[in-house]
């Protein structure tokens, strides 16, 4: 049986059309979890987590929303007069963004970010989308690309989660398994499912603020602020290192 390969986009499109849209995360060790899913992708600004609202106030200039989903972040900034480009690897997500009125949304995976998109002042990776960088090697490569396409006052608003806070025995076993394989403890191998649709398997990188600081070394970026200063899920405000 053919299995559609855009489980994430299916969840977004079904919810947008008023249908049931249960989104499931499946990890490569067999762990499965139902996420907050599609409703969070459409949340109004007042309903965003405080960390995102506080970090959003530091966005400036032309904005790139990476992994824009249903467009909640890009549409917020567009409504406040910013020039915004939203990109996503999900065709379903891109279709919904267009239907919701996002002026510039493109079907572009994160690995194809480059100069053809233009120059940006702020790059947004909300919704835990720092995870899209997948692994340390690819993360450093992408961070250097982000450096090249941002202005001298370029900024990244990067959301992630400390994998060690509130960790269960099951997750701690997964961390040990990763270490044994030479991977970062919070480097997940996962896919997103909705009904019979599923995304391809991919890596998703979650890391503590301490691990993020180490990862940033040599990329031209540094952590300027954290929202909140401590907590399991956080937004790191990354600014360019002074020359």
* 8 Å CB contact between 126 and 52: yes
Residues of the chain where predicted confidence (pLDDT) is lower than 50: 1-2
Report the interhelical angle of 7-16 vs 91-99 (nearest 10°). 30
Q: What pLDDT does residue 3 have?
A: 54
CATH topology of domain 47-188+202-240: Rossmann fold (3.40.50)
Q: What pLDDT does residue 1 have?
A: 36
Q: What pLDDT does residue 29 have?
A: 96
Q: What is the pTM of this model?
A: 0.96
CA neighbor of 173 nearest in space, from 50, 31, 54, 42: 31
User: Who's near 113: CB < 8 A, 6+ residues apart?
Assistant: 64, 66, 87, 142, 145, 146, 149
Cα–Cα distance, 23 to 127 (Å, whole number): 14
Q: What pLDDT does residue 37 have?
A: 80
Q: What pLDDT does residue 242 have?
A: 82
Each as own residue / partner, the long-range contacts of residues 175-179 (CB below 8 Å, 24 or more positions apart, any chain) are: 177/29
Q: What pLDDT does residue 231 have?
A: 86
Domain ranges, ordered by start, for the chain? 47-188+202-240
């Amino acid at each position: 049986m053919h299995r559609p390969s855009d489980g994430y986009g299916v969840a977004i499109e079904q919810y947008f059309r008023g249908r049931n849209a249960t989104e499931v995360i499946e990890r490569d060790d067999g762990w499965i979890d139902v996420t907050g899913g599609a409703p969070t992708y459409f949340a109004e600004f007042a309903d965003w987590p405080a960390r995102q609202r506080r970090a959003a106030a530091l966005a400036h200039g032309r904005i790139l929303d990476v992994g824009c989903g249903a467009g909640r972040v890009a549409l917020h900034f567009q409504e406040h007069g910013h020039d915004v480009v939203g990109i996503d690897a999900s065709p379903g997500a891109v279709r919904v963004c267009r239907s919701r009125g996002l002026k510039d949304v493109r079907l572009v995976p994160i690995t194809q970010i480059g100069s053809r998109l233009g120059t940006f002042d702020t790059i947004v990776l909300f919704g835990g989308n720092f995870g899209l960088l997948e692994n340390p090697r690819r993360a450093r490569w992408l961070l250097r690309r982000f450096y090249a396409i941002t202005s001298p006052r370029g900024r990244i608003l990067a959301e992630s989660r400390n994998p060690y806070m509130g960790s269960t025995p099951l997750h701690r076993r997964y961390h040990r398994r990763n270490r044994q394989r030479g991977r970062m403890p919070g480097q997940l191998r996962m896919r997103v499912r909705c009904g019979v649709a599923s995304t391809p398997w991919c890596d998703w990188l979650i890391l503590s603020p301490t691990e993020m600081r180490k990862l940033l070394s040599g990329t031209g970026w540094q952590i300027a602020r954290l929202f909140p200063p401590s907590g399991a899920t956080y937004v790191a405000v990354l600014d360019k290192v002074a020359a």
